[in-house]
Structure 1
Amino acid sequence: MRLTVNSTLPELQAHLNTLYARLNGDLSEPLNAVAGLLENSTRKRFETKTAPDGSKWAQLSLWTLYAKTGKNGKTRGSILVDRGDLLRSITSHATESMAEVGTDRVYARYLQTGTAKMPAREIFGLSDQDRADIRDELHDWLQTIWSGK
């Protein structure tokens, strides 16, 4: 299963196209860094309980809280975390022309988009902070390339 969340940074497109040509079509080094940034950002959403747009994830339903409560009265896990399988499955990958973050967990689609009985809790996507971090990473990388260091 593949869930694709496309996002672009149009203000960088012309610069990347020029750089892409200068590097013989191989942007794997900076895109690997971008993929790592996005993987970390995606993982952090499990801590902050926020979607890429900054909105807070919906609270768990009473039924879900009941299901997550053990005989000792303690609730296991938190929103989108029961035993940690989804969080551990988040991975990133980059090639010479793209960076991606994802999971092999089929149920992630329903968490991302929601269902008739469950609100969406977006995991994947670009936040404003992600955009700024990507710009900074690419700027630093370009400075290194152009300065010959």
Structure 2
Amino acid sequence: MSSASITIDLDEVNDALARLLAAAGDITPALKNIGEYEAKATRRRFIDERDPDGKTWAALNPLYAKTKKGPGILRGQTRSLSQIVWQLAGDGVEIGSNEVYARIHNEGGTIVPKNAAALVFSMGGQTFKVKSVTMPRRQFLGFSDEDVTEILAIVQDHFLAAISPAGAP
């Protein structure tokens, strides 16, 4: 059996491969760019009032809408829920909200009292005493097709920059 091999011993190629290996070992810059991008895209969903797939969020309860303060759905006067944050986490990045009530708004669900017979709250100038409240899903966390495309471009740019000769655009 015969075989053939080619050995590439070009400084330019060896340098590019070394930079690629170094870039693969430290993806932190790409993760930071992903975190920044996705936090911005998520904050935009609060303005557009749409989920990652572009579906419009459920309308506000009409009684609540009468007295709500703040600019829109899931945005109160402080806009604290829409202050999306990101952080590096191991070999990934986490994107979310620091507000404890973020999950129920993002996923929807039923709220029941923990230590009382009923939930008591005011809405639209009326007081309610109920056994549960169902919150509609108004998803703001997640990835749209556009997000996935941009994240892949960020990863690609990270590695393309790594193999580019120093000083090259």
- With the shorter chain as reference, the TM-score category is 0.7 to 0.9
Counterpart Cα distance in 2 of 1:95 and 1:25: 16
Q: CA deviation at 1:22?
A: 2.7
* CA separation of 1:95 and 1:86: change in aligned 2, threshold 3 A: same
> Is 2:58 the partner of 1:63?
no
Structure with the larger RCO, 1 or 2 (CA within 8 Å, 6+ apart): 1
TM-score by length of 2: 0.66
Offset at residue 59 of structure 1 (A): 1.0
- Is 1:122 the counterpart of 2:139? The answer is yes
Change (3 A) 1:134 1:33: same
Structure 1 residue runs without a partner (length 5+): 1-20, 69-74
Residues 33-59 of structure 1: CA distance to partner in whole angstroms, max 9, x if unpaired?
111111011101011111112211111
Structure that is richer in strand per residue? 2
Question: Sequence identity of aligned pairs in percent?
Answer: 29
Matched, 1:113 2:107: yes
Structure 1's consecutive aligned runs of 4 or more residues displaced over 4 angstroms after TM superposition are none
TM-score (normalizing by structure 1): 0.74
Report how many residues are paired. Answer: 122
Listed as ranges, the matches of 1:9-28 within 5 Å are 22-23=21-22, 25-28=25-28
User: Which whole-Å CA distance do the structure 2 matches of 1:51 and 1:134 have between them?
Assistant: 18
Q: Say which of 83, 88, 94 aligns to 1:94.
A: 88
> Which blocks of at least 5 consecutive residues in structure 2 are unaligned?
1-19, 111-133
- How much is the aligned-residue C-alpha RMSD, in angstroms? 1.9
Task: Quote the residue 1:12 is aligned against.
Answer: none
Task: Kindly indicate whether the alpha-carbon contact (under 8 Å) linking 1:52 and 1:122 is maintained by their aligned counterparts in 2.
Answer: yes
Report the 3-state secondary structure (helix = DSSP H, G, I; strand = E; otherwise coil) of the residue aligned with 1:85: coil
